[in-house]
């Protein structure tokens, strides 16, 4: 089961994504599936069609795991 998380990278805007499980601090990278900004748009650091990214732990400040009920609140309303 994938966990939704907000990943705060150093000197970057937070990224909302899905993790395969709880992060392993002993690993060198954090695997993030479906990365997007909190408003649901594509992350400017990545290409628009990217589905999975590996982020080095030294680039990450915090990882916040979200309960499933909080996922909809984390994605802000986008007015089109």
Q: What is the CATH number of the domain that holds 20?
A: 2.30.30.100
In a domain, 48, yes or no: yes
Q: What confidence score (pLDDT) does residue 38 get?
A: 87
Looking at the domain assignment, is residue 22 inside a domain?
yes
Q: Identify whether 37 is part of a domain.
A: yes
| Domains contained in the chain, number | 1
In a domain, 79, yes or no: no
Residue 80 within any structural domain of the chain = no
Look at residue 59 and give its three-state secondary structure. Answer: helix
- Domain range for 34 is 3-74
36 is a domain residue:
yes
DSSP assignment of 25-44, as one string? TTSSEEEEEEEE-TTSPPPT
The pLDDT tens digits of the residues spanning 22-39 come to 988 789 999 999 999 988
pTM metric for this prediction? 0.78
């Amino acid at each position: 089961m994938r966990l939704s998380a907000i990943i705060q990278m150093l000197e970057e805007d937070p990224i909302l994504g899905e993790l395969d499980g709880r992060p392993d601090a002993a690993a060198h990278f954090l695997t993030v599936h479906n990365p997007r900004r909190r408003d649901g748009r594509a992350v400017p650091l990545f290409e628009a069609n990217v589905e999975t990214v590996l982020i080095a732990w030294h680039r990450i400040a915090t990882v916040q795991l979200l309960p499933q009920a909080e996922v909809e609140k984390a994605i802000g309303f986008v007015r089109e």
